[in-house]
Amino acid sequence: MVARLWWVRHGPTHQKTFTGWRDVPADLSDAAALDRLDAYLPRDAVVVSSDLVRASATADRISGTRRRLPDTDQLREFDFGAWDGLNHDDVASRDPVLSRAFWDNPGDVAAPEGESFFDVARRVSAVVERLAAEHPGADLIAVAHMGVILGHIGAAAGIGFRQALTHRIDPLSVTRLDRVGAGWSLETVNHIA
């Protein structure tokens, strides 16, 4: 099984709206920040990424000599459905009760035509466990999205989605979980190299 899981949030997109499955690019112009991130991550790790361009391009930039696995749609951000591309005020006006419940009671609440925290956690946990089994003893760097990282640490570290939402996950930050028996221990959240 994978020994350590290094979640990396993709580079900034400068979006001010819900950005789920819309394929918007990352701003990777901060070469110094990317170089520090690359230097911080383990050299012999295996790298995997969401198939959305903002994550995939970030993974390409930090892969270097590390083994790069194919991108996977299983690491995509939340599918925000009808909310994708809308700002928070527009979502709150459109669906006031539902949008409040999405953040206040995360779990099985989903945006119209979108995914819930439970949906994302199941999807992401399945691919993480598959990759962990396929790369025993390796460090795994997974380049993905804020919602994916929060959903996984909420479920895998056993802290719950509401507590997970209290964590900040900045662009180009690292959140690390270590394998403990059959589960995961949350070691680092939102580290900026």
Q: What is the pLDDT of residues 27-71, one digit of tens each?
A: 999 999 999 999 999 999 999 999 999 999 999 999 999 999 999
pLDDT in tens, 111-168: 999 999 999 999 999 999 999 999 999 999 999 999 999 999 999 888 888 899 999 9
Check if 77 is active-site.
yes
Give the full edge-to-edge strand order of the sheet including 4-9. 67-68, 46-49, 139-144, 4-9, 174-180, 183-191
> Between 53-63 and 31-40, two packed helices, what is the crossing angle to 10 degrees?
70
Check if 134 is active-site.
no
- Other CB atoms closer than 10 Å to residue 89's CB: what's the count? 9
Residue 99, pLDDT > 70, answer: yes
> Around 168, how many Cα atoms within 13 Å sit in the side-chain half-sphere?
7
pLDDT in tens, 3-28: 899 999 999 999 999 999 999 999 99
Which domains are present in the chain? 4-191 (3.40.50.1240)
Point out which residues pair with 177 in neighbouring strands. 5, 186
pLDDT in tens, 56-66: 999 999 999 99
Residue 106, pLDDT > 90, answer: no
Cα-Cα end-to-end distance for the chain: 26
pLDDT the model gives residue 159? 87
Q: Give the pLDDT band of residue 88 (cuts 50, 70, 90).
A: very high
pLDDT the model gives residue 1? 63
Q: What is the pTM of this model?
A: 0.95
Average pLDDT, the chain: 95
The CA-based dihedral angle spanning residues 22, 73, 79, 25, taken in that order and rounded to the nearest 10 degrees: -20
CA–CA distance, 44 with 106 (Å, rounded to integer):
36
